[in-house]
Amino acid sequence: MKKIVILISGRGSNMEALIAARDAGDLPVNIAAVISNRVEAEGLETAARSGIVTHFVNHKAFPGREAFDARLADCIDQFEPDLVVLAGFMRILSEGFVRHYGGRLINIHPSLLPAFPGLHTHQRALEEGVRIHGCTVHFVTPELDHGPVIIQAAVPVLDGDDEASLAARVLRQEHQIYPRAVRWFLEGKLHLENGRVRLDESLADSAVLVSPEIR
């Protein structure tokens, strides 16, 4: 069975979605470890209760980003994962780290990239007055939030939305598409070609975009 390592910094709700998909039989995967840069991350306890090995690597104990990333990579590599999954890991990763896991490091971002990279995506979407917002699963590259897109989910921005209500609507979709993207990768149904993701012929083109829903 293929193995993944999940990186978190907090609650890890997308980690929870991956664990739930595994337990339901929808994601046949060995979650080899969950690693956090914050010892107080709630997700560590959640993972431990699910029988998953957990580790804590304190970024504050290192003189710089590269030193922390090197120690983090050492921790990850002992599990020999097929894929490294960022699930709310709130660290900007060094170029060396990203290249070390090139083509097997993915992230989920709460916007329809390339729109609204970085932080505070929901508030920025409201301020810009967009009518469609959403989330994106993508491969991680040295350029922040600009890696090749695997799958996206779009949600409508409603007139009565505030940051919290929009974020909640997007998060529900994150929990749907992240297990799907991980499964596709582990099943060999997606490939990187010239900086773009190509899907296996067994997947319909419509699978890469979850259409807007009002909930």
SS (H, E, C) the chain: CCEEEEEECCCCHHHHHHHHHHHCCCCCCEEEEEEECCCCCHHHHHHHHCCCCEEECCHHHCCCHHHHHHHHHHHHHCCCCCEEEECCCCCCCCHHHHHHCCCCEEEEECCCCCCCCCCCHHHHHHHHCCCEEEEEEEECCCCCCCCCEEEEEEEECCCCCCHHHHHHHHHHHHHHHHHHHHHHHHCCCEEEECCEEEECCCCCHHHHEECCCCC
Q: What pLDDT, on a 0 to 100 scale, did the predictor assign at position 79?
A: 98
Among candidates 27, 43, 42, 35, which has minimal Cα distance to 6? 35
Identify the residue whose tokens are 């560590």: 44
Return d(Cα 18, Cα 179) in angstroms, integer: 5
Written as tens digits, the pLDDT of the chain (215 aa) is 999 999 999 999 999 999 999 999 999 999 999 999 999 999 999 999 999 999 999 999 999 999 999 999 999 999 999 999 999 999 999 999 999 999 999 999 999 999 999 999 999 999 999 999 999 999 999 999 999 999 999 999 999 999 999 999 999 999 999 999 999 999 999 999 999 999 998 886 657 777 666 44
Return d(Cα 199, Cα 215) in angstroms, integer: 29
* Residue in 55, 59, 100, 109 annotated catalytic: 109
Beta strands 209-210; 149-156: pairing state: parallel
Domains present along the chain, CATH in parentheses: 1-101 (3.40.50.170), 108-215 (3.40.50.170)
Active site residue 109: yes
CA dihedral defined by 56, 94, 147, 86, rounded to 10 degrees?
Answer: 0
Q: What pLDDT, on a 0 to 100 scale, did the predictor assign at position 206?
A: 58
Q: What pLDDT, on a 0 to 100 scale, did the predictor assign at position 205?
A: 63
Return d(Cα 105, Cα 81) in angstroms, integer: 10
Q: What pLDDT, on a 0 to 100 scale, did the predictor assign at position 150?
A: 96
Among candidates 182, 211, 180, which has minimal Cα distance to 105? 182
Q: What pLDDT, on a 0 to 100 scale, did the predictor assign at position 211?
A: 65
pTM value is: 0.95
